[in-house]
Structure 1
Amino acid sequence: GNTVETLLYVNIRGYKVERLKPIYAAKKLGYKITLLADKDPGLDKGLIDDLIIVDTYDIEASVQASIEYAKNHSVAGVLTWADKDVELVARIGEELGLRTINRESAKKARNKYLMRDALSQIEGLCPKYRHVLSFSDLQQAVKEVGIPGIFKPVGGAGSKGIFKIDENTNVEETYRLMLETTSPEEDKTFSYYPNEYIYEEYLEGPEVSIDGVVQDHIVYMTGVADNLVSEDYSLDYMEIFPSEKDDETIKEIKRSTKTAVKELGFNDCSFHLEGRVTKEGFKTVRSCCSSCWRIYCFSCD
């Protein structure tokens, strides 16, 4: 009969409670599941139909492996759950002719400075920020943006390498620690944008998160949640869904999110935005000022 369509997963989430549900759902819909990953994750037999082992930090090798696989299989969609693989999924989608987020928008999703540059065109949506490529850049950024501020890598994930700078901070020591923390030799996640950082204005206000999907350039939002975040390390420890914010605030958050999504050119993907509700309105930053557009890149014909 008909060829079973395949969903190509690029790696999986590290948390068991998160990584299996999407696979179960896809299986119920009748899809064949293929996993492109650095190593065998050791999932229960029957969940993964085909396993392609490749160094997913090697973009070209991963793309080529996907192309070879697609020659003999009907790949209907490609998706990822990890920040680091967003640009890889865009490349694979382009090569296989699938409807995924485009490469330019994927780069903006991953590079916080490029994202800020794009969103700065929208008045009031971004905090003040400066690109940092050297210690002298950081010194100048602190002078121009002011303190307190947030110093972070442009291509980080999981709140790693987030430093708050205030009047008591030794800026030179913080820069040295940043270089150590984000060394590609220690963590390959930082190999995409090595030694590239951003310094941003620190904003006060409660954190919220918004999830949604963009298809055919129409933005659908599934809801807004209140995020409870630790003060010291900016780690999410609880979410309240739906948000307890008043109706007018929710409308502003959704309106700003829709504007931002369109400005970044997102399409044929899902998204997760974390921002803060400040006295001046909603701004696209986390409590640690780490912009978090997590693009899952799920797309099927």
Structure 2
Amino acid sequence: MARRALILVEGHRGNGLRYVQAIQRLGLQPITLSANPARYDYLAAERLEAIRVDTDNLDALIHECSLLRASYDFAGITGFTDVDESVYATVGKLCQHFDLPGPDPASIERCCDKFNQRQLLAEAGVPIPAYRLAANAREVERSAAEIGLPVILKPAAGSGSSGVRLCRNIDELAEHTTYLLGEKHLCRSSPRILVEEFAQGPFYSADIMGNEVVGIEAADFDRPPHFVFRECIFPAPLTDDEYKHIADVSLRCLQALGLGWGPTNIEFRWTKRGPVVIEVNPRLPGGANPKLARLAYGVDLINEHIKLVIGEEWDLRRRQSHVAAARFLNPDRDGILNWIDGDTRAAAIPGVAEVKIYVEPKTPIVRKGDHRDTIGHVIAASDSQAQTEAILQRAVDLIAWSITPFSALSEQGQSAARNLPAPVEVAQDKG
């Protein structure tokens, strides 16, 4: 009898290992198809089967899956990546081809185009920031003048806050416009930049599975003008009316965008108008959310997503009521990481669920103003928000590091630093 396998298109340096572990717990064989399997270190570390294939080529993927089907019984196909959300649309097309449960690729593609997403939400009356689409510096400047500074400038496609910046004056606007127009991801076709009103207020995100809001998280960010997470709390401290308001707007987003199969994450700012939608992501968030939901509610979003993928019934019932929080370790300068320690002591504190450091000493730190800036995280959980915050702060206070700025290195040292391997991505403090 052929072994049942679940196909993963690409991987994820944040939650990829958790996905393959969930697949294995269900008695399935995970097989990853990737343009570059070496990007995901857990594949080699866990000796997982991975096949190199051009994941931008649907025909090549169909061919590879057809070959695998001769040796395996396909339980399902899913996928994710921390680089390009369009992979999930490709997953939907593969699922349709092989008659397997999966997301609607057309809905995913509409959602991944942020300008198109904005148009559809606006047509449905969903509260969103004022926005314009620009293709060059002159259009960016005109759009910012119409909306009024400060504004958010970002690519019309992308994830992980890459290329997203708050522009508070005309100089910052010109600087970031030049940066975005020079970015490779904007050059695949004509440049497309979103200029948006800066919606000010507390940040929340709703985790959704199917048409059910599983929970809502609160978060704040590190230093502007970028949007690098500093801390997340799950569940968010909301009144019943506030929770219902965000949940209602979330479901309106799903309807407007044709979503409702599998996971969705929706980001909000609570402004004077109430909850304003910042972005709808047709996937699980890549950060700490799945871990926080499991610690707080006992709901394993990754496991339940896999169940949906293989056609089994999921279970989103809350089994407990705790408060979980994550603090991200964000360096305040570029340079060479001399040392980082305290993680072992932090992990030993009662209530600390996880401490992870992503980088090794002698790694060059080059901040990019997005999720790649983070060098580690600490996660804690307890019965109350105050207790969780206290545990988290105690743990974070034990972790320290030293970074020598590039400017302080000798010319020879700067040359050597440029030849060191780039820092490993991913997730986010020291505020």
Work out whether the TM-score is over 0.5: yes
SS of 1:249's partner is helix
* Cα pair distance change 1:144/1:64, threshold 3 Å: farther
Residue 149 of structure 1 and its aligned partner are, at CA, apart by 1.1
One-letter amino acid of the structure 2 residue matched with residue 147 of structure 1:
L
Which whole-Å CA distance do the structure 1 matches of 2:270 and 2:11 have between them?
31
Name the structure 1 match of 2:61.
62
Give TM-score, length-normalised by structure 1.
0.84
Name the structure 1 match of 2:215.
223
Task: Give unpaired runs (5+ residues) of structure 1.
Answer: 185-189, 286-290
Equivalent residues of 2:7, 2:32 under 8 A apart = yes
Name the structure 2 match of 1:39.
37
Name the structure 2 match of 1:237.
230
Equivalent residues of 1:132, 1:197 under 8 A apart = yes
Name the structure 2 match of 1:293.
281
Name the structure 2 match of 1:284.
277
Equivalent residues of 1:229, 1:238 under 8 A apart = yes
SS of 1:169's partner is helix
Q: 2:176 aligns with which of 167, 174, 177?
A: 174
Name the structure 1 match of 2:151.
149
Which whole-Å CA distance do the structure 2 matches of 1:170 and 1:284 have between them?
24
1:205 aligned onto 2:201: yes
Which whole-Å CA distance do the structure 1 matches of 2:24 and 2:249 have between them?
35
How many positions carry a matched residue from both structures?
283
* Cα pair distance change 1:192/1:28, threshold 3 Å: farther
* Cα pair distance change 1:94/1:24, threshold 3 Å: same
One-letter amino acid of the structure 2 residue matched with residue 295 of structure 1:
R
Q: Deviations over 1:30-70 (max 9, x none)?
A: 11211111224453679566322113244443344334433
SS of 1:141's partner is helix
Name the structure 2 match of 1:264.
257
Residue range with higher mean Cα deviation, 63-72 or 144-153: 63-72
Residue 28 of structure 1 and its aligned partner are, at CA, apart by 1.4
Which whole-Å CA distance do the structure 2 matches of 1:95 and 1:118 have between them?
27
Residue 117 of structure 1 and its aligned partner are, at CA, apart by 0.9
One-letter amino acid of the structure 2 residue matched with residue 28 of structure 1:
R
Equivalent residues of 1:63, 1:88 under 8 A apart = no
One-letter amino acid of the structure 2 residue matched with residue 222 of structure 1:
V
Which whole-Å CA distance do the structure 2 matches of 1:194 and 1:20 have between them?
36
Residue 123 of structure 1 and its aligned partner are, at CA, apart by 2.3
1:5 aligned onto 2:1: no
One-letter amino acid of the structure 1 residue matched with residue 222 of structure 2:
S
Which whole-Å CA distance do the structure 2 matches of 1:254 and 1:210 have between them?
7
Q: Deviations over 1:1-47 (max 9, x none)?
A: 4x4322111122113xx322221121111112111112244536795
Name the structure 2 match of 1:73.
72
Which whole-Å CA distance do the structure 2 matches of 1:121 and 1:198 have between them?
18
Q: 2:95 aligns with which of 81, 90, 93?
A: 93
Which whole-Å CA distance do the structure 2 matches of 1:241 and 1:65 have between them?
40
Residue range with higher mean Cα deviation, 259-268 or 54-63: 54-63
Give TM-score, length-normalised by structure 2.
0.60
Which whole-Å CA distance do the structure 1 matches of 2:173 and 2:89 have between them?
32
Task: Give unpaired runs (5+ residues) of structure 2.
Answer: 285-304, 312-431
Larger radius of gyration: 2
Residue range with higher mean Cα deviation, 64-73 or 42-51: 42-51
One-letter amino acid of the structure 1 residue matched with residue 37 of structure 2:
K
Name the structure 2 match of 1:139.
141
Q: Deviations over 1:268-300 (max 9, x none)?
A: 221112211111011111xxxxx2514258522
Equivalent residues of 1:56, 1:62 under 8 A apart = yes
Name the structure 2 match of 1:183.
184
Q: 1:129 aligns with which of 128, 131, 145?
A: 131
Equivalent residues of 2:126, 2:253 under 8 A apart = no
What is the root-mean-square deviation of aligned Cα atoms in Å? 2.4
Residue range with higher mean Cα deviation, 64-73 or 225-234: 64-73
* Cα pair distance change 1:158/1:191, threshold 3 Å: farther
One-letter amino acid of the structure 2 residue matched with residue 202 of structure 1:
F
One-letter amino acid of the structure 1 residue matched with residue 283 of structure 2:
I
One-letter amino acid of the structure 1 residue matched with residue 191 of structure 2:
N
Residue 246 of structure 1 and its aligned partner are, at CA, apart by 1.4
Which whole-Å CA distance do the structure 1 matches of 2:188 and 2:93 have between them?
14
Which whole-Å CA distance do the structure 1 matches of 2:10 and 2:68 have between them?
16
Name the structure 2 match of 1:247.
240
Which whole-Å CA distance do the structure 1 matches of 2:62 and 2:187 have between them?
18
Which whole-Å CA distance do the structure 1 matches of 2:44 and 2:162 have between them?
33
Name the structure 2 match of 1:23.
20
Residue 191 of structure 1 and its aligned partner are, at CA, apart by 6.6
Equivalent residues of 2:75, 2:310 under 8 A apart = yes
